[in-house]
Amino acid sequence: MQKFYKNLSLWLIVALASLFLFHYCKQSPDRHHAVAYTEFLKKVDSGALTSVTIVDNTVSWKATDGTLQQTVVPLTSDALQRLLGKNVTVRAEASSQPPWFLLALLSWLPFLLLGVGWFFYSQKGGGQGGGGRVMAFGKSRARLINPEESKIKLDDVAGIDEAKDEVAEIIDFLKKPQKFVEAGARIPTGVLLYGEPGTGKTLLAKAIAGEAGVPFFSISGSNFVEMYVGIGASRVRDLFNEGKKKAPCIIFIDEIDAVGRHRSSGAGSGGNDEREQTLNQLLVEMDGFEANDHVIVIAATNRQDILDPALLRPGRFDRQVMVPLPDVGGREKILKVHARNTKIGEDVNWQTIAKGTPGFSGAQLASLVNEAALLMTRRNSRAITMEILEAAKDKVLMGAERRSLIITDREKRITACHEAGHTLVAWMLPGTDPVHKVTIIPRGRALGVTMQLPEEERNALDRTYLFHTLCTLLGGRIAEEIKFNQMTTGAGNDLDRVSDLARKMVCEWGMSEAVGPMTFRASNPLSSQPAQIMSEQTAMLIDSEVKKLVQSAYDTARLVVVDHQDILEALTTALVEQETITRTDIQAIVDQVGAR
């Protein structure tokens, strides 16, 4: 509608401009030569004038040479008597009036401009509930999705079956609320969806609304808080008032941690005080619902730990549903959902791709399928093949290839030796994740990558597995030291991961006998929990245990590399020649060297 009015205004301006142009072109007034009043009187007295035309105070005549001349006569002059005394023909005319449309426009133009400005300014209020009202700062900016517009169903959500079961009765209540009211059951006022980013929290909320066939109000937590005090609370009130008018409906607040953080213990000020007022109003609105309101609040966040406890208590967000990362079965279902609108080759094995993407969220899997579709287009292929999916998976996991990067032969061999060291240690130590692929083609910031994929899902990690992971990470650095007798910066990321993992083993998971089964939490500015107080002696003991653990892993990995230098050399040579080797190639190299 707003676009229609803009187009209408544009055509109105064009029409008026054309009308004015036509009017002035049609008039095409003649050019008159101005004559001084004294000169005009001389002409009258000399009898040079025979006929004149008077319009208001202007006298016009045609000279003997054919030119048009005119002069302005003062109001008190006796020019008329002189003209009549000389028998000059005098013709008086009324002054020409502007066209009626010009008079109307000049009369109503200010009011028209004010009206147009009022209309467009009021449209800036935007948002549901703000609907064209001026000064709509305090109106909700939630976007309303009507039932007929919501095309997402629960079948479009895969890989989170437990979370879908948790919200099933919410859908039943929205479809048949009277059944629950008659049974005396109180449906949860709010549902909090929390989990890692990209796991499908927003998609699940939309699917609930689409499945129930009810209006869906969607807004982000950051849209509540403004620089003006009281605006956030006003928007919360307006949002819930609009929700009650559309009941039964769903109000979805994405990233609720933007407004629902822990309130400070003292008096706030500025933006923090405004955020707390907004949170207080949200708490009041949620706790004030009656059974006949039929409004369900669904919120999503990946920072549940920083939410205010009053927001999580029963009566507000009664139900808290964790949306986890999908397991291998869930990943396979998600891949199939995102591949429904693409052409898939007969050789594609979704189970293999699912096993090769541990820890992937739903968003990452969607990105994988999209990358495969783009790669299929670039290769002019008719369908997505297994090879294309593997290439897309490598790009999502390790980054895009940088084949244009110029690497010297020595750097290439050092990189190959480094990756061969990782591969050798991971291959020889029991319980580690199998090596899937090794490449020395630069990807992202890395000059080479060793990819390990678990054979099965791991929900709990034991100390042996973690220790062997430390050994594998150190294998690349050790291989460089043994073969080239020097250290490079290529192991920087490995050492960072080793330090972080070893400290977690000691401080968080109690895997050090000297420190014991205790946790020691460091300060974290993103967490609401304060740092744990520890003595200097304890801090020194933790540092000592972390160093001892890393040194033990280093010695174990070095022993593996020294005992199998022939395999290390064969792997290095294969990487230099082929650039990329797979698990089958590694097995063949190990068997070939072992048979010598």
Residues forming the active site: 419
Burial 73-93 (b: 16+ CB within 10 A, else e): beeeeebeeebeeeebeeeee
DSSP 97: P
Q: Given strand 580-582, what is the order of strands in its sheet?
A: 449-452, 435-439, 580-582
CB contact set of 279 (below 8 Å; sequence gap of 6+): 259, 260, 261, 263, 308, 311
User: Nearest 5°: phi and psi at 6?
Assistant: -65, -45
Closest CA to 53 of 18, 95, 17: 95
Residue 129: how many CB atoms within 10 A of its CB? 23
Q: How far apart are CA 219 and CA 259, in angstroms?
A: 12
Rounded Cα gap, residues 1 and 5, in angstroms: 6
SS (H, E, C) 521-544: CCCCCCCCCCCCCCCHHHHHHHHH
**What radius of gyration do the chain's Cα atoms show?**
41
Residue 567 to residue 420: CA distance in whole angstroms = 9
Tokens of 332: 């396979």
Pairing type for strands 58-62 and 51-55 reads: antiparallel
Measured between alpha carbons, how far is 571 from 476 in angstroms, rounded to an integer? 12
Tokens of 343: 């052409």
| Cα–Cα distance measured from residue 417 to residue 183, given in angstroms and rounded to the nearest whole number | 71
Beta-bridge mates of residue 71: 59
Rounding to the nearest 10 degrees, give the CA dihedral for residues 263, 269, 274, 278. Answer: 20
For residue 4, CA distances in Å to 8, 9, 16, 125, 459 come to 6, 9, 19, 18, 57
Beta strands, E only, 399-474 = 435-439, 449-452
Tokens of 512: 């050090």
Amino acid at 99: P
How far from 543 is each of 387, 470, 507, CA to CA, in Å?
A: 47, 17, 10
